[in-house]
A = this chain, B = another copy of it.
Amino acid sequence: MTKFKNTINVVVPGEPDSSYPIHIGAGFLAALWAAIQTQWPNHKPFVVTDENLVRAGLVQQLLDGRMAPMFSITPPGESSKHIGTVTAIVEEMEKAFLGRDSLVIALGGGTVGDIAGFAAAIFKRGVPVVQIPTTTVAQADSSVGGKTGVDSSLSKNAFGCFWHPAAVYIDVETLATLDDRQYRAGLVESVKHAAIADAEYFDYLEKNIEPLLSCDTAVLEHIASENCRIKAAVVAEDPTEQNKRRILNYGHTLGHAVETASAFSLLHGEAVAAGMIAAGMLEDAMGLVKDERLSRLRRLLEQLGQPTRIPKAISKAALIDLLKRDKKAVGQWPRFVLLEQLGRTLCKESQWAHEVAPEAVETVIEALV
């Protein structure tokens, strides 16, 4: 049996059958297929992945010479995250004579996980999905929480379900296939988890920046565990994002706007890095907190090679316009997640996202461009 370094159990309240394990370790991918078959002996596997994973040799590692029905998303990335890809996956599963006893195995980054998870959620009214995230973003973030979905021609995640995985397998060795920029930008979600929920974890990241940047296995296993523990705790409290789950959006409100305004020339993590700096400046401007957290955050992000400013090419007007159209906006203006100290998110009158005057946001944007 495959040995894992750590296993975290995610409990979804109100849905007793939806708890699932996250297994974390290094170098187990080639042994995983047999472990999955032992775990789900009566299910027929169907692999969803993308060209990048095939090219990196990870699909071959997973299958280890076996044959299995498979769908490789082409082209890889956001441009394939639409309903047509989901339809193609479902029809491919039908052509492979799969039924309600199938098990979708998603191998890849966040996009693969979102698409495959959604296909599993709606195939014959729902079949289980196993997530094997292979990027720093997906290992930190998108394989935990049950959000699945694809974009419409008009907006992101217009189609989707909450569909929790049957299990998550995080093999940190798969991260070696990422290019350096993707690898580093994905670490921003780890910084975010530390900032919103755990000052000790923030210390750990500061102290381990060197091994982290050189892909040290033990450090990667540790941060995968910390990320999943933190995110799982938040999701368990609020699985469908009625309230507290909003804290996972720290830095994302302006971050999303910056990402979109850059026409996606910035990676998600890069945009969120700038968004977290902006949130920290709002906290200062509102007099919420007086500590070193913003300078520490800035230094850590810089050490990870992340932007801590907004690119000059982006106009303030464009950002303001995007903020007004934020999908969580209330009365055409978004609320912001803010810290009350490093490792603790501000909660006021039971709310985790707060009104911030547009003028304050404009001032921060001006200072950051």
**Residues of A with Cβ closer than 8 Å to B?**
14-17, 83, 87, 90-91, 94-95, 99, 118, 121-126, 147-149, 152-155, 157-162, 240, 327
Contact = CB atoms under 8 A, between A and B. Distances in A.
A313 to B, nearest CB: 29
A147 B16 CA distance: 21
A7 to B, nearest CB: 25
Contacts of A155: 94
Nearest to A148: B125
Contacts of A126: 160-162
Given A94-B158, A99-B327, 10 more contacts: A14-B15, A14-B16, A83-B83, A95-B154, A118-B122, A123-B159, A124-B157, A125-B148, A125-B149, A161-B161
Closest 5 A-B residue pairs measured CB to CB? A125-B160, A94-B154, A122-B159, A83-B87, A91-B152
B152 A122 contact: no
Contacts of A327: 99
B147 A94 contact: no
A122 B122 contact: yes
Contacts of A118: 122
A158 B123 contact: yes
A90 B153 CA distance: 10
Contacts of A124: 157-158, 160
A90 B122 contact: no
A125 B91 contact: no
Contact of A159 (B16, B90, B149, B153): B90
B162 A125 contact: yes
A161 B118 CA distance: 11
A17 B94 CA distance: 33
A48 to B, nearest CB: 16
B152 A90 contact: yes
A124 B118 CA distance: 12
Nearest to A82: B87
Residue from A121, A162, A327 with most neighbouring chain B CB atoms (10 Å): A121
Contacts of A161: 121-122, 125-126, 161
Nearest to A14: B16
A159 B147 CA distance: 18
A5 B307 CA distance: 65
Nearest to A17: B14
A16 to B, nearest CB: 6
Contact of A122 (B15, B95, B160): B160
Contacts of A149: 122, 125
A192 B68 CA distance: 42
